[in-house]
Structure formats: structure tokens, C-alpha cells
Amino acid sequence: MTKLLILLVLVLGILTIAQLARVYELTSRLRGTREEDISPSDNRMNGRLMMLFLIAYFGFFLWLVVAYKDRMLPISASEHGVETDWLMNFNWVILLIAFVLTNVLLFYFSYKYLYSPSRRSFWQPHNNKLELIWTIIPAAVLAVIIIYGLNTWNKITDHPGADALQVELYAKQFDWTARYPGADGMLGATDFRLINGTNPLGIATPESVEGRLAEIDEEIGVIEQGLGAVLPDARIDELSDQADRLRRHKQRILNLRTVMQNDITVNGAASPYLAGADDIVTKDFYLPLHQEVEILIRSRDVIHSVYIPHMRSQMNAVPGMTTRLKMVPIITTDSMRTHVMKNDAFDFLVLCNKICGSSHYNMQMPLIVTKGAEYDVWLAEQMKKPFQGAPENATADAAAPATQENTGTADAQKAPAGMN
């Protein structure tokens, strides 16, 4: 009912304005003035409104800054972020000067030089000196912005150091999975065709390849058995398509097996196909303090984006390729909670920042930064855990953890609570 009333008021309001305008139009027609003749009083009123707007505009801006400055992102929790923030502030200073200057001139002139029949405009088609000055000044200022900007950019995107910790973040609709190298300190190779319930990241090891081949054979067998029955044509086509696709995949996996075997022969223990067996696949994302990390980012289905606002870090997750970002966390989750945010529920979050489907808005994972020793303890615990989707368990008994794997965001949300 109130909504109806609001609607009614709005409609009446608009009608009133329209009618007033008509009345005005009729009276001005009677007075003999034309619509295009802007009366001095109208001109003055609009000129004053220009000045009023300028004041309101700056006032609004100031209010937003004052009222919301504490609700912006807190100090950067990563090393490069400190520099990013400095660069941002440096840019803001320049931009604010330009912003105030141009707006004041624009609105002031619109108020000051209103039409008067007794006056003529200043005849000034151009002024080369002036134009040169305001081409050169922005150019010089921009040169400074570009140099500082690219300097920071080069540092951020430079190769990580040799002792950087490598961690993988794996995106799929609509959750994140982290993968840590096991005792060998090396992440194993992967292939998307090996993905199944027990191997959600498609880690390629001799065991997972054999397991997947056996699984495909089994699936083909089931389909062929099904084709033996009397079925409608459409269903037969569908099933044989499915079987064909599986056979194609099988062939590709056989190729992969050959590549893998060659690699193992050539590289021996250094082969990435032997490194995956002890990888730790987890829904918890931990990083050690003051340690440079290189995050390798992959996606299973569509483009996602790893966005960690508190770290000033972002990189897309693109299916078919591995992207990278590096950073050095400099504040632990605990100190953020006690010293910076004064909020015990605070967590660093990895958010998805590339539109990826219906639950895009809820594709998050907490990030826990701890001191190195605590991180080591956590990592050791992870190694002891029965591996969720480990290749050695791939065939038989890992079915239970695998289903857990698929529950997605619900798990990710529970994780921090479990930590406390």
C-alpha cells in the first residue's frame, strides 16, 4: 500500500512539474517571449546553481573521504603492496590538484561570464603559447607518473627469487583449491584429462595415469554393455558419441603416458611426473610470513581471477594456461586481527574477481598468514593427513575424501572456524 502511495506521489509530482512548465510556456507566449530566449533571471539562476553545485560537489567528496577513509582497505599486508599504496597516494596528489583546479575554473567561469547584451566576448581564437604550455605540463607530469608506475610494475612482475615457495591455486566453479609441493619441494605435472573424483587437480603420475585409463576402460565397457539393449536411435547415437569421446581421451592419455615415460627415462627423479605423488591438495590456504611465494594459477573451466585485496594482488586464472603472481606477506593473520583490524573474525580473503557464473559472488577462500614455524607445523600436519585424492589412493579407498572435495564453498567457509 505504501508502495502504491509512493508511486502515486511520484506520478502526481511529475504531472505537476509538467503542468507548471505548460503554464509557464503559455504565459511566456502571452508575453511574447520565445522559448529560445533565455531570460537574464534564468541565466543568473543557472549560473548560481553552477557555483552551488561546485560547493556541493567538493563537499560531497570531502564527506566521502572523511566518513569512509577508515573503511577503505587497511595497510598493505604484502611487501609490494606498500609500494603500490605509496604510488597510489602520489598519483592522488597530482590528480587532486588537477581535479580542483579544472573544476573551479570550469564552474566559476560558467557563473562569472554570463550573457549581457552590453558586453561582447573576448575575441580569442587561439593562443599558441598558452596551448604549448598546457600540452607540455601534462606531458611532463605524465612522464613522471609513467616512470614511477613502470618502475613499480617491473618490480611486481619480475621473476621470483630462487628460494621462492611455489604454491598452486586452482580455480573451478565455484571454489578454490590450493596445492603445495610435498617433501621433494616440487609441484607435479598435471593434465586435465586425468581429473576425476579422487584427483580433482588432474595430477599426472604413473599411478594416476594407469588409474584413469582403467576407469575409462570401465566406462566404455558400461556403455558398450548398454548398447546391447534395445534402445531408441537417438539414445544409441548419444551413447556411441560418448564412447567415441572416451576413446579419443583414452588415446590422448596413452600419448601422455608415452611422454611421461620418456620424461622419466630422461630426467629420472627430477621428472615432474614423479613429483606429484606427494603433493598436498587442500582447501586451506596458508602462507608463511616474510617468505617470497610464487602462486601458480590454473583454472578448470572458465576464467576466474585470484584477487587478494589486502595483499594488493590480482591475477586471472585462465583455462589452458598457468598464470603467476608473486608476493611476500608481511603481516600475519593474527596481527591483522589484534593490531590492525581489532576484529577477531578477520581473515584475508581470496576473492574471485572475474565473472564466472551464478555463484561468482561467493567464490572465496580465506588465506592464513602465519609465522614460519607455525607454517611448518601446519605443513607437516598436512603431509601426515591421508592425502585427499592422492594418486596412490586413486583407485580404491579415497572415495570418501573425494566427495568432501566436491562440496566446494561450504568447506572453504568452515575452514577458518576450524582454525580458531
Partner 1 sequence: MGATTTAHSGHHGHEAHHHHQESFISKWIFSQDHKMIGKQFLVTAIFMAWVAVIMSLIFRLQLAWPGEGFAFTNFFLGEKWAPGGVLDPNMYLALVTIHGTIMVFFVLTGGLSGTFANLLIPLQVGARDMASGFINMLSYWFFFLSSMVMLASLFVEGGPASSGWTVYPPLSALPQTIPGSGAGMTLWLVSMTLFIASSLMGGLNYVVTILNLRTRGMRMTRLPLTMWAIFITAVLGVLSFPVLLSAALLLLMDRTMGTSFYLSEIHVAGEALDHMGGSPILFQHLFWFLGHPEVYIVLLPALGITSEIISTNARKPIFGYRAMIGSILAIGFLSFIVWGHHMFITGMNPFLGSVFVFTTLLIAIPSAVKVFNYITTLWRGNIVLTPAMLFSIGLVATFIAGGLTGIILADSALDINVHDTYFVVAHFHIVMGMSAIFGMFAGIYHWFPKMYGRMMNTKLGYAHFWVTFVCAFGVFFPMHFIGLAGAPRRYYSYTEFTMFDGVMDLNVLVTIFAIVGALAQVVFTYNFFYSIWRGPKAVQNPWRSNTLEWTTPVEHLHGNWPGPIPTVYRWPYDYSKPGKEEDFVPQNVPIEEGEEEH
Minimal distance, residue 13 CB to partner 1, in Å = 8
Minimal distance, residue 309 CB to partner 1, in Å = 3
Residue with cell 547415437: 237
**Roughly how many angstroms between the first and final C-alpha of the chain, as a whole number?**
48
Minimal distance, residue 26 CB to partner 1, in Å = 10
User: Is 311 within 8 Å of 327 (Cβ atoms)?
Assistant: yes
User: Is 169 within 8 Å of 350 (Cβ atoms)?
Assistant: yes
Bond into 53 cis (ω within 30): no
Minimal distance, residue 48 CB to partner 1, in Å = 10
For partner 1, the closer of residues 379 and 398 by Cβ is 398
Minimal distance, residue 188 CB to partner 1, in Å = 16
Non-local CB neighbours of 320 within 8 Å, separated by 6+ positions: none
Dist CA 103 CA 3 (whole Å): 39
For residue 284, what is its C-alpha cell? 586451506
For partner 1, the closer of residues 82 and 184 by Cβ is 82
Helix (H) or strand (E) holding 287: strand 285-288
For partner 1, the closer of residues 365 and 379 by Cβ is 365
For partner 1, the closer of residues 200 and 288 by Cβ is 200
91 to 95, 141, 188, 309: CA distances (angstroms): 6, 10, 43, 19
Minimal distance, residue 377 CB to partner 1, in Å = 27
Bond into 99 cis (ω within 30): no
For partner 1, the closer of residues 153 and 381 by Cβ is 153
Type of residue found at 165: L
For partner 1, the closer of residues 157 and 267 by Cβ is 157
Q: How many residues does the chain have?
A: 420
